Amino acid sequence: MKIAVVGKGGSGKTTTSAVLARTFARQGRATLALDCDTNPNLGISLGLGEEVTESLIALRDAVDTGEQEHASSADDLVRRFGVEAPDGVHLAVVSAIQNPEPGCP
């Protein structure tokens, strides 16, 4: 199951995403949270703290500036850019896919 949370700034996207992710993870579901926001603070809401959240943002910046290669698969993305948050949620801060292949990225 894939869930996208979208909306205006301040409408509750981050809070809702964190509650959904932690609820699913507590139910024993493998849960990968991807923060694509320009203001990516889902790590804070997931309980990771500022330092780890900032390090994930720095990794995304490195991809955006070309210092790091894009991940080649979801597994590669989690391994290289992901961290484990409380309740077993995996989180990565990700950038847009500029030229997606056909299908659902």
Ligand X SMILES: Nc1ncnc2c1ncn2[C@@H]1O[C@H](COP(=O)(O)OP(=O)(O)O)[C@@H](O)[C@H]1O
Binding mask 4-43 for Mg ion (x = CB under 5 A): ---------xx-----------------------------
20 or 62: CB nearest ligand X = 20
Told to check if 60 binds ligand X by CB under 6 A, we report: no
Told to check if 22 binds ligand X by CB under 6 A, we report: no
The binder of 10, among Mg ion, ligand X, none, by C-beta within 5 to 8 A per type, is ligand X
Q: How many CB atoms lie within 10 A of CB 81?
A: 22
Q: Are 78 and 89 in contact (CB under 8 A)?
A: no
Q: How many CB atoms lie within 10 A of CB 57?
A: 16
Distance between CA atoms of residues 6 and 56, nearest Å: 21
